[in-house]
Amino acid sequence: MVSTVETRQTVEKVSGDYKYGFITDIEMVKAPKGLNEDVIRFISAKKEEPEWLLDWRLKAYRHWLTMEEPEWAMLDYKKPDFQDIYYYAAPKSSDDRPKSLDEVDPELLRTYEKLGISLQEQEVLAGVAVDVVFDSVSVATTFRETLKEKGVIFCSISEAARDYPDLMRKYLGSVVPAADNFYAALNSAVFTDGTFVYIPKGVRCPMELSTYFRINEANTGQFERTLIIADDESYVSYLEGCTAPMRDENQLHAAVVELIALEEAEIKYSTVQNWYPGDKDGKGGIYNFVTKRAACRGTNSKVSWTQVETGSAITWKYPSCILQGDGSVGEFYSVAITNNFQQADTGTKMIHIGKDTSSTIISKGISAGKAQNVYRGLVKVMPNAENTRNFTQCDSLLIGDECGAHTVPYIEVKNPTAQIEHEATTSKISDEQLFYCLQRGLDVEESVSLIVNGFCKEVMQQLPMEFAVEAQKLLGISLEGSVG
């Protein structure tokens, strides 16, 4: 045992812990602390929003006041004090939004370089269009011109509210209504920025679109909103990444993501969630309370969610698909890793409404340290959904004897032609597997990393290349110190 402890310590020294825990010193503009109608008016005014959007926010806020914080999730945490949060924090320099990267505050650019997202480099080399959200505002969006030629709109949601009011009014809140749930209502009231994407008819988006979210300020909450509309016969692949500095207090992140796929359209949405998970003793970390939902409205439309969840102290997240269009397809691929005191309650909902709809759910949960990991999912088949098909597989891996892995699937079927299958297993890394790797010269950490990567392979394969590499590394880092 002594040798394994030593190995562990060496590995920890070499690779360090959370890499993105630094703080950027930047001058910020903030709204007063706390939440009331004036703060919402302040945010709306800052964003130069149209009247209808302010009304929409206020309506959501008033409804939110009547709601209670949900308690059904298997999570144990101190509830956030909603009056102790800054709802708006923006880098001062972006008051006049930069037209090109040259005008972006160099401090910000350096921040993103530290995160491994060099905006300039990506603009030139990688060919990935990036929208960057720093605390409450979008600070830079690359490749806009190239995309414009194709008719693709890729901008911050504040800009969209000004420049594309028709699209915004039609689709905002159409998948996740303002009063949907406690956190969605809060987000609808105070969302500060986010990304807006519109892919016109028949267009295959020429590059991957990507957003990086970064919480920087202390005591701030991040409330972003993403709205993606794929018009008839279009295709888009979208990536989302997030990080935050290491702080002792818990910070709240409550986002809403809405996806709309029309006739024959396809949206691929990938997330690598790496918010600060808190330290080894469970101190600090992000509360990640997110509502993500996709509506497959058109016939044969398709939405695919892929998520790698390694960060956050608490995760409460269920990316869902409403399969309305006949023949529409929903997919959910998830890897959720929890270590130390992390808690994750995550899964999906597949609501089959249209005929011949199908869905696939592959969920891999890995729990180490003192962490708790829950898969919670719903597969629902409505009476008119003929010939639907669902396949669900949830596997859990336990590392250490102090963690927990839980599976809570709901299956509700109201049509006899449906074919629904659910399978779940829970196990630990077997001694044989470990022995095999050790015998071939790998150390314990490497072996575990290899085995875990194999366990998650089905999901990792779904990720776009740029993300897959990052995600694989993250797996290793997240599990550090879990074996010994």
Partner 1 sequence: MTEKNHFEGKPYADRFRSEQAALPNSDIQWLNDLRATSIERYEAVGLPGPKVEEWKYTNLSALKSEIYRTSKPSVGDNEKNIDEITLNEISGSKVVFVNGYFDQNRSNIIESPGIKISSLNDYVKSNPEDAKTLFENNRSKESLQNLNLALMTGGYIIEVDEVTKLAEPIQIIHVATDTAESNSLRTRNFISLAENSGAQIIERFHGENEVNYWRQNVTRVQLADGAALDILQTQTEGNGAIHMSETDIRLAADASLKHYSLNLGGKISRTEIKPTLNGKHGNVELRGAFLARDGAAHDVMTHMKHMVPECESDQVYRGVLDKGGKTAFQGKVYVAKDAQLTNADQSNKNLLLDRNAEANSKPELLIYADDVKCSHGATVGELDQEALFYLNARGLDNRDAKALLVEAFIAEVFEELSIEPVKENYLGLARAWLKAAV
d(CA 54, CA 57): 5
Number of residues that bind partner 1 (CB under 8 A): 35
d(CA 325, CA 353): 8
Instruction: HSE, CB side, 13 Å, CA atoms: give it for residue 133.
Output: 31
Residue ranges of alpha helices (H) inside 89-175 are 106-114, 119-121, 144-150, 157-163, 165-171
Q: Give the residue with the Cβ less far from partner 1, 34 or 409.
A: 409
Q: Which residues contact 454 (CB under 8 A, 6 or more apart)?
A: none
Q: Is 254 in the site for partner 1 (CB under 8 A)?
A: no
Q: How far is the CB of 382 from partner 1 (least distance, A)?
A: 11
* 370: DSSP letter: T
Q: How far is the CB of 116 from partner 1 (least distance, A)?
A: 33
Give strand ranges (E) for 22-126. 28-30, 89-91
Q: Is 350 in the site for partner 1 (CB under 8 A)?
A: no
255, 286 Cβ separation under 8 angstroms:
no
At residue 147, φ and ψ (nearest 5 deg) are: -70, -35
Q: How far is the CB of 375 from partner 1 (least distance, A)?
A: 9
Answer positive or negative: Cα dihedral of 12, 17, 19, 22. Answer: negative
Q: How far is the CB of 141 from partner 1 (least distance, A)?
A: 44
Which two structure tokens, joined as six digits, stand for 231? 């018009």
Q: How far is the CB of 401 from partner 1 (least distance, A)?
A: 5
Q: Is 69 in the site for partner 1 (CB under 8 A)?
A: no
Q: Give the residue with the Cβ less far from partner 1, 304 or 449.
A: 449
Looking at the chain, the number of H-run helices and the number of E-run strands are 13, 24
Site string for partner 1, 106-145 (x = CB under 8 A): ----------------------------------------
Residue span binding partner 1 (CB under 8 A) among the ranges 88-96, 159-167, 411-419, 467-475: 411-419
Q: Give the residue with the Cβ less far from partner 1, 15 or 419.
A: 419
Q: Which of 282, 409, 464, 484 binds partner 1 (CB under 8 A)?
A: 409
Site string for partner 1, 414-433 (x = CB under 8 A): xxxxxxxxxxxxxxx-----
Query: Beta-carbon neighbour count of residue 190 at 10 Å?
Result: 25
What residues numbered 380-399 form the site for partner 1, per CB under 8 A? 381, 383, 396, 398-399
Q: How far is the CB of 253 from partner 1 (least distance, A)?
A: 27
What's the distance, Cα to Cα, between the start and end of the chain in Å? 7
Q: Is 404 in the site for partner 1 (CB under 8 A)?
A: yes
Q: Is 353 in the site for partner 1 (CB under 8 A)?
A: no
**Contact set with partner 1 (CB under 8 A):** 72, 381, 383, 396, 398-428
